[in-house]
Amino acid sequence: MTPARVLVLAYGNPGRRDDGLGPACAAAVERWQVPGVTVSSDYQLTVEDAAAAAQHDVVLFVDAACAGPEPWALRALGRSTEVAAARRTGGVGFSSHSAAPEDVLALAALLFNADPAGYVLAVRGYEFDEFGEGLSPAAGRNLAAALAALEPMLRNRTLGADAAPADRPVAAAAGSGTDR
Amino acid sequence: MVASTSNGLKRVVIEPVTRVEGHGKVTLLLDEQNKVHQARLHIVEFRGFERFIQGRPFWEVPVLVQRLCGICPVSHHLAAAKAMDRIVGGEQLTPTAEKMRRLMHYGQFFQSHALHFFHLVSPDLLFGFDADVAIRNVIGVAAKYPDLAVQGVMMRKYGQEIILRTAGKKIHGTGAIPGGVNKNLSIAERDFLLKDAEQMLTWARGALKLAKDYTLAHLDELRDFGSFESNHLSLIGASGELDLYHGGLRAITATGEKIFDHVDYQRYLDYIAEEVRPWSYMKFPFIKSLGPERGWYRVGPLARLNTADRIDTPEAEAARQEFMAVTQGKPNNISMAYHWARMIELLHSMEKIHALLHDRDLQGTDLVVRGPRREETVGLIEAPRGTLFHHYVVNKDDQIVRANLIVSTTNNNEPMNRAVQKVAQDHLSGRQLTEGLLNRIEVAIRAYDPCLSCATHALGRMPLEVELLAADGTRLDRRSRG
């Protein structure tokens, strides 16, 4: 059986401290060289990411989170066609030049007749408002925890094996809280 | 929300604005008769950038400045590179270097204008300002007009492919360096880009037709929508032609009289000043000779079409003549005409890309020049959203000691406030914030394609909440999106 084609779409601005969690995660995943796993890193998601998403079976979006569980959380978005159906009935509200993960998935279905499954890995960060390179120490620890969990998921293709409903977390790390 | 102020005026606050970058908040000041007295667009501008780059070596700046913005990093990259050209005495670029930079720049225009038009604007135009926000978005366009949506996605992607092949990377490109570029365009890269060039030209023509037809069909409504007379400012080529990469500064009045022309932008501080207002982080630039009250100006596609005597690509020039005919050759001051102007620039950019891809200079190997060193420098470029100023001082140890940036959205600060005020005056009825008014305020701001707070977007940062409170502070209504 051919292993699922996985696209890791990580995004954020490394010049805004913890907003760079996504690109830092992408750099680490790229170093692992997992067969069948493609890595893309950008400042933010945009509509053309839908074209790449459409060529994969699974899309893992990786972003910094300014609120929510520590050190990380993984959320299942569902399949593109499901997300598209939900978005067409009022799921889209606030948006900007950047696209939401759900938009990218929905566009993959609506424009390219693809049906990848989507997940969001949200790594908790703390410092976003100033220019500066490098993660805060706490965000760095959260990233390390996320990577430790992510590597076997990608190598063994167990990402989403226990997929929960789209609005429920698949997994949230049992972090012990984070010292900043 | 609505709240009273000490002088008897009421404040209506809308926060933030949808489908523009980052966060924006609108405050409408009402008078005793519930008429709009003033509109204020609050923008959370980036802070700390000057401190971020102080002490860094000047040659790092063209890469570092890309951290400013996730939408127009290439514009910052090129403006900084143009500034650093002068530090190394290399502003007279080799033909290969200038054409590689121009190709990168036109690629950035093409993807940025396509993204804005198809992703952000087309829902308003295709479904109408009063359509349900649940369908008035890119997903709604994808569902009802999939061919159009695919074009938008693929045009954006094509522009990004150009950036990848000229800047070396899709993000944090390093293509432009002080005094030149660090790569040329290989034959294989050229052929890859040429493969889809004709298709992109066709789609650009279609997008222009859509914007033109919409504007002409709704001209009576749009002529007054968020519109006002203003000065206009942009770079201009040596013979008065539209030039998005380089030239002198030209400013004209609302009726077309020249305020200044072909000004060397190294001396921009002799002509442009910035006013600070206590309620806004963002400054208000103005033309010094006219003062802050009369000297504010518009930048971006509308301003560029108004200041240019002509466009040096045939299809865009024909489109410009049609555009100018609407106002009998005088400057067009209709805010919503930005979209038509933007699509003329989209086609112009693709015409330029097409021509450059056939230019053998792109395969040249003479990439960098050097000359007498300088310690102070200004780099200007026309970014998709308007004129972008980068000003730096470098010490003898090659470190940045001072930086001042005026970004395109800052240049359009006063015009965006005026557009919001005009729409609110025309559409606010009583003390109710209606969906229709919110939509129209957003439509007016989007015409300027502002980039409000560059480059952070972490999950959980984008709510839209509107509150309506009575004069005594009691909440009358609350709306949220997102």
A168 touches chain B (CB under 8 A): no
Q: Is A22 left (phi over 0), alpha (psi -120 to 50) or beta?
A: alpha
**CB atoms A111 and B157 under 8 Å:** no
Q: Record the pTM.
A: 0.89
Domain A6-172 top-level CATH class: alpha beta
Q: What is the layout of strands, in order, in the sheet containing B400-406?
A: B376-383, B386-394, B400-406
Q: In chain A, which residues have their Cβ closer than 8 Å to the Cβ of B47?
A: 129-131
**Window B:84-113, CB contacts with A under 8 Å:** none
What pLDDT shows up at residue B469? 42
What pLDDT shows up at residue B393? 97
Tens of pLDDT, residue by residue over B337-349, are 999 999 999 999 9
Could you say which of B48, B120, B135 has the minimum Cβ distance to residue A130?
B48
Q: Is the pLDDT of residue B138 over 90?
A: no
Averaged confidence pLDDT in chain B = 87
* Average confidence (pLDDT) per 10 residues, chain A, 180 residues: 88 88 96 96 88 96 90 92 77 56 92 95 87 92 97 89 44 47
Q: In chain B, which residues have their Cβ closer than 8 Å to the Cβ of A90?
A: 134
Interatomic CA distance for residues A108 and B140, integer angstroms: 14
B62-66, B81-85, B132-136: which has the minimum mean pLDDT?
B132-136
**Window A:99-128, CB contacts with B under 8 Å:** 99, 103, 106-107, 110-111, 120, 122, 125, 128
What pLDDT shows up at residue A98? 67
What pLDDT shows up at residue A167? 42
A4-8, B51-55, B186-190, B294-298: which has the minimum mean pLDDT?
B51-55
**CB atoms A98 and B48 under 8 Å:** no
**CB atoms A66 and B460 under 8 Å:** yes
Greater confidence (A15 vs B146) lies with B146
Q: In chain A, which residues have their Cβ closer than 8 Å to the Cβ of B60?
A: none
Closest CA to B301 of B426, B159, B450, B459: B450
Greater confidence (B481 vs B302) lies with B302
Which residue is closest to A96 within chain B, CA to CA? Answer: B19
Show Cβ contacts of residue A60 under 8 Å, excluding neighbours closer than 6 positions: A6, A7, A8, A9, A118, A119, A120, A121, A159
DSSP 8-state class, residue B66: G
What pLDDT shows up at residue B461? 40
How far away is chain A from the Cα of B113, in angstroms, using its nearest Cα? Answer: 11
B156 touches chain A (CB under 8 A): yes
What pLDDT shows up at residue B403? 92
Share of residues in chain B with pLDDT > 70 (%): 87
Reported as a pLDDT band with limits 50, 70 and 90, residue B183 is very high
Reported as a pLDDT band with limits 50, 70 and 90, residue B134 is confident
Which residue is closest to A128 within chain B, CA to CA? Answer: B456
Greater confidence (B357 vs B430) lies with B357
Domain boundaries, chain A: 6-172
What kind and span of H or E run contains A171? Answer: strand A169-172
What kind and span of H or E run contains A105? Answer: helix A101-112
What pLDDT shows up at residue A160? 65
- In this prediction, residues B434-458 reach a mean pLDDT of 73
Reported as a pLDDT band with limits 50, 70 and 90, residue B44 is low
Tens of pLDDT, residue by residue over B372-415, are 999 999 999 999 999 999 999 999 999 999 998 898 988 999 99
